[in-house]
Structure 1
Amino acid sequence: MDTNYSVYDIANWFLFKDSMTPKKLQKLCFYAQAWSNALFDKKMISDTQFEAWAHGPVSPELYRKYKGYRWNSIEKEEKISFEIDEMTNDLLESVWITYGDKSANELEALTHVEAPWISARSRAGASEGGSCSEAIADEDMKNYYRSIYAGD
């Protein structure tokens, strides 16, 4: 598995599947990173750290790129604009099958009951709904998602 993907590459992959809001895109990219940590013990995305923002995990870089869309959908991509290895593609397909049919709000609610986001906000002493830029630890992602993995 290649681990030199940018958050923009992974976002492009999901946007090739469908148009979606920035919030949903953030959560799908987070789950790609989380499950890569859990299943392969390495990060898929090399150029960002997901932070425990009020509405769930957020890549600040991805946020800056798409913040102009606000609550509107980002248009579907016509093609995947980068080379992707098979293991990474398979993992992204699994993330898409598992989470792709959920709304942005459903994904936000899901991340809010999962340990990695809760732990990061707790470390920062963030109040419910308060701003927080604490990074979500790779080790927390790995341990939590590995613990809920049903296997295949």
Structure 2
Amino acid sequence: MSYSVESVAYWYLSKEEMSPKKLQKILYYAYSWFLTLQNESSDELENKLFEENFEAWVHGPVINSVYDQYRHYGYKEIDKFEGDLPKFDSEALDVMEQVWEVYGGYSGNELENITHQESPWLNARKGYQPLDRCRNEIEDKDIFECYIQRVN
């Protein structure tokens, strides 16, 4: 079962206000770890937290629709979400909580630097210079193969 990316974003924004960059990277790690922990192999990646794909932008993984929704904040913090949150199943909630525990203390810039060291973003940007505009999708298979190595 997958959720809307908006509902996952609201869940994280209910934790604290954060920059759009931090939100994008937190969503990336939630998606990545859910994909890795809820699938058996890189050949069958059916279980996803949400359906949107990440693109390998200059500042790290980005979902274009989320960027459009929060771009007016620029470098300012997005307000903390105070509304009603959707219900998530226990597997999704467990992964989302763990992602928050591990990555929630980092700033958007720190998370950007971490993603720039990891193979999914690097693979999607092959052939591009550091500041070149790139809209290549980060492949689910690359995500799975990168993070499954950390599980074992």
Q: Shared topology, TM-score over 0.5?
A: yes
Q: Is the 8 A contact 1:16 1:78 kept in 2?
A: yes
Match among 7, 14, 17 for residue 15 of structure 2: 17
Q: Which residue of 1 aligns with 2:87?
A: 83
> Secondary structure of 1:17's partner?
coil
CA distance in 2, matches of 1:71, 1:100: 17
Q: Which residue of 2 aligns with 1:45?
A: 50
Question: Where does structure 2 lack aligned partners over 5 or more consecutive residues?
Answer: 40-46
CA distance in 1, matches of 2:48, 2:134: 22
> Secondary structure of 1:45's partner?
coil
CA distance in 1, matches of 2:119, 2:141: 11
Shift in Å at residue 149 of structure 1? 2.4
Q: Is the 8 A contact 1:27 1:108 kept in 2?
A: yes
Shift in Å at residue 43 of structure 1? 1.5
Q: Is the 8 A contact 1:53 1:132 kept in 2?
A: yes
Q: Which residue of 2 aligns with 1:129?
A: 131
TM-score w.r.t. the length of structure 1 is: 0.92
CA distance in 1, matches of 2:91, 2:83: 19
**1:118 equivalent in alignment to 2:125:** no
Q: Which residue of 2 aligns with 1:31?
A: 29
Question: Where does structure 1 lack aligned partners over 5 or more consecutive residues?
Answer: none
Shift in Å at residue 80 of structure 1? 4.3
Q: Aligned letter for 2:110?
A: E
**1:148 equivalent in alignment to 2:146:** no
Q: Please provide the CA RMSD for this pair.
A: 1.0
**1:54 equivalent in alignment to 2:58:** yes
Q: Is the 8 A contact 1:12 1:80 kept in 2?
A: no
**1:105 equivalent in alignment to 2:109:** yes
Deviations 1:63-98 (CA, angstroms, capped at 9, x unpaired): 000000000000001144312111101100000000
Q: Which runs of 4+ in 1 moved over 2 A?
A: none
> Secondary structure of 1:43's partner?
coil
TM-score w.r.t. the length of structure 2 is: 0.92
> Secondary structure of 2:50's partner?
coil
Shift in Å at residue 130 of structure 1? 1.1
Q: How many residues align?
A: 145
107-116 vs 33-42, which moves further: 33-42
CA distance in 2, matches of 1:129, 1:147: 29
> Secondary structure of 1:128's partner?
coil
